[in-house]
Amino acid sequence: MSQMSQSINLYKQLANHKLFNKTINFDLKRIKSVLEKLDHPEKKLKNVINFLGSSGKFSTLFSVKCFIEANNQSATSYISPSLKDIKERFWIGDRYLTHQEIKRSIKIIEKLKVPLTIFEVLTVIYIIHASKKNVDYHLIEAGALFAKDSTNVFNFPKAQVIVNINKQHLNFLKKKTLDEVVYQKVGFLSNFTNIYVGKQKPNVLKKIKKNLKKNKSSIIYSNSWKLVTKNNKFYYQDREVKIKLNTKTIHSKGLLENLCHAIKIALDLKINKRIIEKTIPKISFEGRFQYLDKGRIKKKLKKYEKIMLDGAHAETDAKNLVHYLKPIKLPKYGIWSMMKNKEPDLFIKQFKGVFKKIITVPIENEKGSMSSKKLSQIALENKFNVEKSNSFNEALKKISSKEKKLIVCFGSLYNVGNILNKN
């Protein structure tokens, strides 16, 4: 059985399990009960760094991880979602967990007979294995919110990192407002730690500061550093240090700002400037502004056709993608998919004047996917030239021609992961 098949089967096992629930339900009582039954493995994790917010958690976390490892230190990491394989969620110091290790961990959790959500199960699996590993740092990406997110179970984190906050995950909130989103994200952060606040819209920053007013942590805002552009080159700069962002793989201003955010954290972790400079060219984010220059999908296209993947799924992500795409003179075609818990109308509006045509597709093996029919209706309402399709492969056939072009697959990390597995 292939790695991909094993991963799909593992997730199906969780999704169809009588004890576990795929529906997201925020409540810390369940996971705390399980951790207590397991003799509190979460208390063994030292130097925890939480990453929370709406857009940019993974890229910031991954960059910090790269800097730590380049400094001859070690880290575990927990991310969501995975792109190609469920095991990608669990980095345990020097490797991913195996499928067999994940299965054995599920059996341990089963015996406790506590009904959990799938995300809670995955979080417990990570904690079990991370607690057995002697590493320097534990880097943990939060789920949808943070107040009652299953990753919010560590009493004394080393740091908490707030990336860009925007109006996502409103379906989980009674009050569907930006105020409530910010409150649920940052109103429950730890005292007496280091809180790093990344780039935010002015109105969001104001709300964050209001929520952190009584917090007794050291709060480091993004005005302590900046992304500098000079002669088409990018630099990280603060009061003491200037670092050239020597990268050929990170194209988005938003991703570059996330990289700068990570540099600030790395410098505060006493990682040398030279190590950071040497590491930057090696950092790339799979599924983010990623060109497919080889593989099975590229072979299906004409030589002069380019294809790029980006898991952009929020308004902020869309604006970053548009900012990158607009200067490109090639005709641009979009293959668009999206999950039901996003804001498709607000998202697609950002792409007016960018795409010559959009093909909508469902996300394979995802019950939470929006239908191509629904997405095409939304695109039509926003006056896009649009056509619906039943699959990515079908969409690719409809687009591919003798015309020089850039094909952009966007709207969902889940779909990007499926495409990468096809390649």
Number of folded domains in the chain? 2
Looking at the structure, tell me whether residues 35 and 91 fall in a common domain.
yes
Sign of the torsion formed by the C-alpha atoms of 296, 297, 303 and 306 = negative
Q: Among residues 282, 299, 326, which one ends one of the domains?
A: 282
Residue ending a domain, among 252, 282, 312, is 282
Answer yes or no: do 308 and 271 share one domain.
Answer: no
Query: Do 57 and 202 fall within a single domain?
Result: yes
Is there a single domain that holds both residue 57 and residue 181?
yes
How far, in Å, CA of 205 to CA of 64, rounded?
23
Q: 388 near 315, Cβ under 8 Å? A: no
Q: Are 370 and 303 in a shared domain? A: yes
Same-domain pairing of 266 and 345: no
CATH number of the domain that residue 357 is part of: 3.90.190.20
pLDDT tens for the chain, residues 1 to 423: 567 778 878 888 888 899 998 777 889 999 999 999 999 999 999 999 999 999 899 999 999 999 999 999 999 999 998 888 999 999 999 999 999 999 999 999 999 999 999 999 999 999 999 999 999 999 999 998 888 999 999 999 999 999 999 887 777 778 889 999 999 999 999 999 999 999 999 999 999 999 999 999 999 999 999 999 999 899 999 999 999 999 999 988 999 999 999 999 999 999 999 999 999 999 999 999 999 999 999 999 998 999 999 998 888 889 999 999 999 999 999 999 999 888 899 999 999 999 999 999 999 888 889 999 999 999 999 999 999 999 999 999 999 999 999 999 999 999 999 999 888
Q: Are residues 189 and 309 in the same domain?
A: no
Closest CA to 203 of 174, 170, 164, 162: 164
Last residue of a domain, one of 242, 260, 282: 282
CATH number assigned to the domain comprising residue 25: 3.40.1190.10
> Residue 306: which of 205, 373, 405 has the closest Cα?
405
Instruction: Give yes or no: residues 295 and 264 share one domain.
Output: no
Residues 151/56, Cβ–Cβ less than 8 Å: no
Residue closest to 412 by CA, chosen among 349, 377, 360 = 360
The model's pTM: 0.93
Residues 167 and 217 reside in one and the same domain: yes
Task: Tally the C-alpha atoms within 13 A of residue 330's C-alpha that lie toward its C-beta.
Answer: 17
Query: What is the domain range of residue 323?
Result: 290-422
Q: Are residues 58 and 127 in the same domain?
A: yes
Q: Are 195 and 151 found together in one domain?
A: yes
Picking from 91, 59, 81, 94, the residue whose alpha carbon sits closest to that of residue 247 is: 59
**36 and 184 housed in the same domain:** yes
